[in-house]
Chain A
Amino acid sequence: MILAFLIWLENLTLFSSLRSSAYAYPVVLALHLTAISLFGAMIVASDLRLLGWALSGSSIGDVLTPLRWPKRFGFLLAGTCGFLLFASKAEEYYYNPFFRAKALLFVLVAVHALAFRSSVYGNPAELDGAAQRPLAKLAASLSLLLWLGILCVGRGIGYVAGRPGMHYR
């Protein structure tokens, strides 16, 4: 059922032409990496501030709040490019163990966001007090580990080739 949907998806004109294009596919890949660099660093900067390792002269709110919307925009850009890459080889990705690991890590990112939303990311103004600090540091460390994991398994996806006979059925 899922697989039938993915095969239908990858054979839509947009995605099948992206898959077979010589230059559009690598351009989307390069944009994906650009979005990861430009906006991934905003996640890292926020986490480093929560850990007290960078920008510690500023209050936590003065670092986290102005980066909130740029981070969302970057996530949207990286996500859109990522979806294009996935959709053009959806059947292959379905079987790819690194893609499955990446999907699982994204579920954990969502759990992380929900778990720390009210205590950490939702009210940065209160984080400068000493009592909140261990929780904020835990959230920041887990966030760094999750995103580094996503980066590594993401690179791994490209190392598992699809089986012959996939696509164009």
Chain B
Amino acid sequence: MWIENPLSTSPTGFAVLECFHIAGFALAIGMTALVDFRLLGIGLHKQSPVQIARAIEWWTLGGLVVAVFSGLLIFSTDPDMYYLNWPFLIKMACLALAIAFNYTIHKRAIFRPWAPGAARLVAGVSLVLWVSVIFGGIFIAVVRTGLT
């Protein structure tokens, strides 16, 4: 017996989910970027990277949780399309890397200060990974090919 996913038949529900998704990832990625920009010497320079990281920690996690849960619901509307779609698979790989990087190497570079060159590299990698996730998300609707 099949039960219709109400989100698949309601454009309004889907659009509202997307708003939560965008607001969530914008908060998570943007707050992380505040630390990355600090490591690159842009923006907040009166605070140490540690102070910024502590201040944004829960906002980042909150944004990430909202983005992931709204993303799971978006995924539920058309799972066979998503899991066969190249941009989606690349997006998920970048997301997994970005989250792992954020809570390991990125965290270390902030809390046990590294040489400025190494810290800038870490900031650059972090920004590139998170921005790739955004690009992957947009291209899901553009590139409709993938695994068969």
Interface centre among B18, B22, B127 (most CB of A within 10 A): B22
- What is the size, in residues, of chain A's interface with B at 8 Å between Cβ atoms? 33
Q: How large is the interface on B (under 10, 10 to 19, 20 to 34, 35 or more residues)?
A: 35 or more
Q: Tell me if A66 and B19 are in contact (CB < 8 A).
A: no
Stretch at the interface among B37-45, B73-81, B96-104, B109-117: B37-45
Give the docked Cα–Cα distance between A62 and B44 (Å). Answer: 8
- Interface stretch, picked from A35-43, A88-96, A103-111, A130-138, is A35-43
Residues of A within 8 A of B11 (CB): 159
Interface of B is mostly: helix
B127: chain A residues at CB < 8 Å are 38
B94 CB → nearest A CB, Å: 13
How long is the Cα–Cα vector from A136 to B71 in the complex, in angstroms?
A: 34
Kindly specify which of A7-15, A112-120, A150-158 makes contact with the partner chain: A150-158
- A27: chain B residues within 8 A (beta carbon): 135
- A33 in contact with B30 (CB, 8 Å): no
Rounded to whole Å, the gap between the CB of A74 and the closest CB of chain B is 9
- State the CA gap A82–B80 with chains docked (Å): 32
Q: Are B18 and A55 in contact (CB under 8 A)?
A: no
The answer to whether residues A39 and B30 also contact, given A34-B131, A55-B47, A151-B19 and a CB cut-off of 8 A, is yes
A31-69 contacts to B (CB < 8 Å):
33-34, 36-42, 44-45, 48, 54-55, 57-58, 62-63, 66-67
Encoded as 1 (CB less than 8 Å from any B CB) or 0, chain A from 65 to 99 comes to 01100100000000000000000000000000000
A145: which B residues are within 8 A, CB to CB? Answer: none
Does A3 sit at the interface, judged by CB under 8 A?
A: no
Structural contact, A152 and B43, CB atoms closer than 8 A: no
Contact of B51 (CB < 8 Å), options: A42, A58, A152: A58
11 additional contacts, CB 8 Å, given A30-B135, A37-B30, A54-B56? A30-B138, A34-B134, A37-B25, A37-B29, A38-B29, A40-B26, A41-B30, A55-B55, A63-B47, A70-B37, A151-B23
Q: 8 smallest A-B Cβ distances: which pairs?
A: A41-B30, A62-B46, A30-B138, A37-B26, A37-B29, A55-B55, A152-B19, A30-B135
A-B contact pairs, 22 of them (CB 8 A): A22-B142, A30-B138, A30-B139, A34-B135, A36-B26, A38-B29, A38-B33, A41-B26, A41-B29, A41-B30, A41-B31, A55-B55, A57-B51, A57-B55, A58-B47, A66-B44, A66-B45, A67-B43, A151-B19, A151-B22, A152-B19, A155-B15
